[in-house]
Copies of this chain bind each other. A is one copy, B any other.
């Protein structure tokens, strides 16, 4: 068995890995893990990631959790263009700094903001925010429009999804509350 990626595209770190792998033509088997159905809590998934979190990677017998570690693993194992993780020590350090910063700062605040005002629930967050809209356009242009749409399809359609099963919702609630503090 080759590379397997356990993802739910509702999750931002999962989308980052999905886009990175697709953009760099890294061959992988997508193993969908439906968070809203609580599939990440199953015993089967716990064998891939005992922490029961997506994203997770399996490469033969080797398993790996944490999006940053997975991105770096893919960078090292597959031939990806130099700009993703430059050889130059200082340029590389700035990539590491960003990868750490998005954990310590960006992701935490965004999780809170999203919990209160989900982008996917129909809020037009890009309207009237030219800097944010320009940033989105740059990202879309860099990864390619098709791949951008494909990776964001689930979250953009979140509003239309049927409501989550109340039992699963109850099961997930403590983890969500712990996550957003």
Interface residues of A (CB under 8 A from B): 51, 62, 64-69, 72-73, 76-77, 89-90, 92-94, 96-97, 99-101, 103-105, 108, 180-181
Contacts and interface: CB of A to CB of B under 8 A. Distances in A.
Question: Chain copies in the assembly?
Answer: 2
Chain B CB within 10 A, most for which of A62, A92, A97: A97
A65 B97 CA distance: 6
Contacts of A89: 73, 76-77
A97 B76 contact: no
A101 B62 contact: no
Given A104-B103, A180-B181, A69 B51 contact: no
B101 A66 contact: yes
Contact of A62 (B68, B72, B90): B90
Contacts of A99: 68-69
A101 B65 contact: yes
